[in-house]
Amino acid sequence: MNHSPTAILIATMDTKGQEALFVARCLIEEQVSVNIIDAGIRGQSPVPTDISRDEVAAAGGKTLTEVQNIGHEGQALAVMTEGAIKCAQKLHRGNKIHGIIGLGGSMGTTLGTAVMRAFPVGIPKVMITTMASRDTRAFVGTRDILMLHSVCDLSGLNRITNKILSNGAGALAGMLHRVHPDVLFDQPLVFLSTLGTTEVCAQNIRRQLEEKGKEVVIFHTVGSGGAAMEEMIEQEAVTAVVDLSLHEIADHNFGGDYDAGPHRGWAALKKRIPTILVPGNMDFLVSGPLDAANRQFPGRAYHVHNAAITVVRTRQEEIKKMARIVADLANKSRGPLSILVPLKGLSAFDSPEGPLPDPEAPDLFAQVLQKNIGTQISLKLLPHHINDAEFSGAIIEAFDDLLQK
C-alpha cells in the first residue's frame, strides 16, 4: 500500500479493554492505524473509542439502555452484532479501513467473526479467540478468517497473552503491508467441485480446461466449500460450473457432517450458467471419529479415513432419493445443463479396490434419474469409473458442447 493501512479492532471494551489496547499499540508500532469499535454492553471502556457502544446499539436499532434491559445475553448480542456490522461496513464504504481484527471468548468471537463474514474475501481478517481449538465452521463460514487460538483465557496481560496478542496483531499487519502482485485474470472463469476421492478426475479436468485457456477455481466440498461456491457463483462472472462432487447434498439430507445447506447446486442453474452435474462422492456420508459414526449410523459399512473422519456407505434407498433430488434440480434449470453418471463407481471408495464398493448403486442412481428428468436434459450414462481418464475426457467433451450452445 502507498499509505498507512487502517484496521478495525472489534472488542467488548468493558471486559477486554486492556487486551484490546495492547493489540492497538502493537498495530500502531507496525504502522497500522486503528479504529476501535466498542461492542460492550455492561461496563465502561477504559478509553474513548472511535465508535462507541452507544453508536453500535443505535446502529442495531436500539438505545444502549434498551439493549441492557433485554435480559437475555444472546438477544442483546444479536443487536450489538447487527450494529457493529453496519458501523464497520460504513467505514469500509468510505474506504477508511483495510482489515479487521477481533479478540474474545465465545461471545466476542461470535460478534467479531459475524462482522468479518460481512466483508468480501481478500480483506485481511484475524480473530484471536479461546474458541479456535473447537469446530470453527460457525465462526468462519465461507470467509477467509484467520482464527488464532489464545491458549489461555484473554483475561489480563501476562507472559502468555502478550505473545498471542502480539502475534495476532503482527499477522494482520503483515497481511495489510503485503503488496499483492498486480496480476490480471481475464480468462473465462470455471468453478469445479471435488473431494480427495475424486481428485484424479478433478485434476484431469483442471489441466485440460487450463490448456483451453480457462481459469479454474476448485472448491473442496466439505460443507463450507460448497456453500462458498454457491455464494461466489452469485458474485463472480462465472463462465461454467463443473459440479463433480454433489456429496454435500447427501450429507444435508441424511445427517452427514459435510452439509452445505438446502440450496446446494441451485445457484448456477438459476443464473443460466452452463453446468455439468456429476453424482460424485454420493456413495458415502461423512461423520466424525469411529465411535461417533457408529452411534450416528449404526450397522453401516464404514471406512476410517483418519482419526477425525469416518465415512459410511450410503444405502440404496438414499441413492434413489438423491437421484430424485438431482432430477428436481435439473428440471428447474434455466440454462444449458448436462448430467454425466459414471456407472463403474462414484468415488475412489466406490470401486472393487476401494473400502465401500456397491456395484449396483450407480446403475440404480441412473435408473431413477432417467425416470424423473425431462427429455430436454442431456444425460450420459458412461461405462467408466469417475476417476478413469475416459470419464474426465467425456466431461471435457460435454463442457465444449455446453459452451457452444
Q: Is the pLDDT confidence value at 292 over 60?
A: yes
- Measured N-to-C along each axis, helices 73-93 and 106-117 cross at an angle, to the nearest 10 degrees, of 30
State the residue for C-alpha cell 434498551: 66
Phi/psi for 16 (5° steps) reads -125, 25
Q: How far, in Å, CA of 270 to CA of 329, rounded? A: 10
**Arch. (CATH architecture) of 189-404:** 3-Layer(aba) Sandwich (3.40)
**Nearest in space to 298 (alpha carbons), one of 281, 282, 315:** 315
- The DSSP bridge pattern shows strands 310-313 and 302-304 to be antiparallel
pLDDT tens per residue across span 351-400: 999 999 999 999 999 999 999 999 889 999 999 999 999 999 999 999 99
Which of 179-183, 286-290, 399-403 shows the lowest per-residue confidence on average (mean pLDDT)?
Answer: 179-183
Q: How far, in Å, CA of 118 to CA of 222, rounded? A: 21
Do residues 166 and 26 make contact, with C-beta atoms less than 8 angstroms apart? yes
In sequence order, which ranges of 73-212 are alpha helices (DSSP H)? 73-93, 106-117, 137-140, 159-177, 199-211
Q: Is the pLDDT confidence value at 3 over 90?
A: no
Q: How far, in Å, CA of 311 to CA of 202, rounded? A: 20
- Domain layout of the chain by residue ranges: 6-177, 189-404
Specify the higher pLDDT residue, 71 or 12.
Answer: 12
Which pLDDT value is given to residue 217? 96
Which pLDDT value is given to residue 1? 44
pLDDT tens per residue across span 211-262: 999 999 999 999 999 999 999 999 899 999 999 999 999 999 999 999 999 9
Do residues 2 and 16 make contact, with C-beta atoms less than 8 angstroms apart? no
Q: How far, in Å, CA of 344 to CA of 220, rounded? A: 23
What's the CA dihedral at 352, 356, 357, 358 to 10 degrees?
170
**Arch. (CATH architecture) of 6-177:** 3-Layer(aba) Sandwich (3.40)
Read off the pTM. 0.85
| DSSP 8-state secondary structure symbol assigned to residue 10 | E
Do residues 46 and 53 make contact, with C-beta atoms less than 8 angstroms apart? no
pLDDT tens per residue across span 206-219: 999 999 999 999 99
Q: Is the dihedral of CA 197, 244, 394, 236 positive or negative?
A: negative
Q: How far, in Å, CA of 239 to CA of 31, rounded? A: 41
6-177 and 189-404 share one fold:
yes
State the residue for C-alpha cell 453424482: 279
SS3 282: coil
Q: Which residues contact 159 (CB under 8 A, 6 or more apart)?
A: none
183 falls in which pLDDT band (50, 70, 90)?
A: low
Q: How far, in Å, CA of 81 to CA of 75, rounded? A: 10
- The DSSP bridge pattern shows strands 125-129 and 99-104 to be parallel
Phi/psi for 336 (5° steps) reads -60, 130
Q: How far, in Å, CA of 300 to CA of 81, rounded? A: 43
pLDDT tens per residue across span 188-208: 999 999 999 999 999 999 999
